[in-house]
A and B are shown apart, each in its own frame.
Chain A
């Protein structure tokens, strides 16, 4: 019986963790080029989650189309935020963009509260079938989540490795000024990174909503957990972000085996804190100065 619970917790942890990992990837892409923590990233995931809800449940659009729309909107929202709140501050004191990103997060949460209210909601997917796997139960929704996650990460990996845009993004992460010298338009690269990262956050937000439920208050927790994932994995590449996310997801789900479930969020914070303490460059990371290669 204990083994079954363990496998179930492992499974839940892996799914939650890979969602965190996916948010972390978008986060890390922005950080790799601008060297600034976009606090609002987790809040964009929250907005994406609710947009899909509005399109599908309130407006009656087919769920898949609603999700695609929501992902596109999240990407555009990311771009809008970058243009309004970050771009004008790119060359100022380092605290300035950090403070605006806190302001953006706060505004997004307030907007969500004003539009959708504080009640917990769900997508009403009516997909209740489940399969048994090594004694644990895996639901249809969870299977879909896993497929979408693997596909998105694979798509992103292809985009970064093979396309001209991806190569330009990696080059910009490597040396932004050098990129500029060889004729890559830095502003466009930054815009592309915000669109891609925010769209990924949108996808992850929807998956998170499918996995549990919809709350306007999850933005902060998601932001911190994704950051913890980056720190854990080290800013190495997209896979190390996903790995970091998996560790966080597993730790918080296995943690509630020993601890009351109210401490679930605190587990991620403590991990983050301890990692920052002993090895800020991450478990897999290079040293801080030469960090970040996507």
Chain B
């Protein structure tokens, strides 16, 4: 039982970092990315391959983050000027292509067979093979990530992110370099997702391309939306809920083929229900001004002038 609880804590922490990394892209900046699993996968694969080759944990993790950033740079530069729904489809296509790379670059990733036996991290001479020690590591990293992203969201840069989300043209018209900010946000998100991926690989010790497909991208999105877009603690709550649901289904003892589809159905319906009844999410802020409100506001102003 304690084992189980530590396992859940570790998963919540890893997915929490992942959800926060998407939150700064989707929640704060309003860039609807459906390919975020790719960055998580790049981090996981890079650090797994390096660890298996004997590179130390920190170096492998950092390399995973950096490679994610490099791919993010490519993705960012090419998609940054696309508008809302186009950006969404483009990032989705990137995610699918990246997944095809994980699946088909046999010599490096062993394809669908996956990479087994990824070593546990060794830090200052200690091997973190026990659950509590690994939980401590992930919680510390989660804490650092949470601290940094909170600082970011209150900084002028964070205000600028919100500004871009609320009204890109207005942000541009006061002389802000919107494309630049968007790229920086994507890079930051990619780096954090890469770190989370690296933690995931060294914890689970076995990864395959199926871990990083479109379903994960949608799952992370659901975490962010559930917790409340533009709220880092909300993302953490979302991650907690999304880790809990499969665990509950597992404990309920349903056959795995059935519970997998049921889980998908719950996620899908949850996304719809959230948007219909509580678009702000569980903890969300009310930054989202509806379009009709804005039009009304403009009209009243015009009328009073």
A interface with B by C-beta (< 8 Å): 36-37, 84-85, 88-89, 91-100, 102-111, 113-114, 117-118, 220, 224, 227-228, 231, 260, 262-263, 265-266, 269-270, 272-273, 276-277, 280, 288
Structural contact, A102 and B90, CB atoms closer than 8 A: no
Across the A-B interface, give the 9 residue pairs with the lowest CB-CB distance, nearest first: A103-B271, A107-B268, A106-B268, A110-B264, A110-B265, A113-B261, A103-B272, A269-B93, A266-B100
Residue of B nearest to A105 (CB): B268
Contacts of B279 in A (CB 8 A): 92-93, 96
Residue of A nearest to B81 (CB): A280
Structural contact, B264 and A106, CB atoms closer than 8 A: yes
Structural contact, A93 and B82, CB atoms closer than 8 A: no
Q: How far is the CB of A228 from chain B (nearest CB, A)?
A: 8
- CA distance in complex: A95, B28 (Å): 13
- CA distance in complex: A260, B291 (Å): 47
Contacts of A106 in B (CB 8 A): 218, 264-265, 267-268, 271
- CA distance in complex: A290, B58 (Å): 52
- What mask results when residues 21 to 55 of chain B are scored 1 for a CB within 8 Å of chain A, else 0? 00000100010101000000000000000000000
Tell me if B297 counts as interface (CB < 8 A to partner A): no
Structural contact, B86 and A276, CB atoms closer than 8 A: yes
Structural contact, A103 and B269, CB atoms closer than 8 A: yes
Structural contact, A276 and B218, CB atoms closer than 8 A: no
Contacts of A113 in B (CB 8 A): 260-261, 264
Contacts of A260 in B (CB 8 A): 104
- What mask results when residues 262 to 305 of chain B are scored 1 for a CB within 8 Å of chain A, else 0? 11110111111011100100000000111110000000000000
A-B contact pairs, 21 of them (CB 8 A): A85-B275, A89-B276, A92-B290, A94-B84, A96-B275, A99-B32, A99-B221, A102-B34, A106-B218, A107-B268, A110-B265, A114-B258, A114-B261, A224-B92, A269-B94, A269-B96, A272-B93, A273-B94, A276-B78, A276-B86, A280-B86
Contacts of B261 in A (CB 8 A): 110, 113-114
Interface residue total, chain B, C-beta cutoff 8 A: 50
Structural contact, A227 and B89, CB atoms closer than 8 A: yes
Cβ < 8 Å to A, chain B residues 142-156: none
Structural contact, A37 and B270, CB atoms closer than 8 A: no
Tell me if B88 counts as interface (CB < 8 A to partner A): yes
Q: How far is the CB of A85 from chain B (nearest CB, A)?
A: 5
- CA distance in complex: A109, B268 (Å): 9
In the complex, number of A-B residue pairs with CB atoms less than 8 Å apart: 140
Structural contact, B275 and A276, CB atoms closer than 8 A: no
Contacts of A102 in B (CB 8 A): 34, 218, 221, 271
Contacts of B260 in A (CB 8 A): 113
Contacts of B78 in A (CB 8 A): 273, 276-277
Structural contact, B79 and A276, CB atoms closer than 8 A: yes
Residue of A nearest to B290 (CB): A92
Structural contact, A98 and B262, CB atoms closer than 8 A: no
Residue of B nearest to A38 (CB): B85
- Beyond contacts A107-B269, A288-B83: 9 other A-B pairs, Cβ-Cβ < 8 A, are A85-B276, A91-B292, A102-B221, A103-B275, A110-B264, A114-B261, A265-B96, A276-B78, A276-B86
Structural contact, A100 and B271, CB atoms closer than 8 A: yes
- CA distance in complex: A1, B116 (Å): 44
Tell me if B244 counts as interface (CB < 8 A to partner A): no
Structural contact, B85 and A36, CB atoms closer than 8 A: yes
Tell me if B225 counts as interface (CB < 8 A to partner A): yes
Tell me if B97 counts as interface (CB < 8 A to partner A): yes
B79, B267, B276, B289 pick with most chain A CB within 10 angstroms: B276
Structural contact, B290 and A37, CB atoms closer than 8 A: no
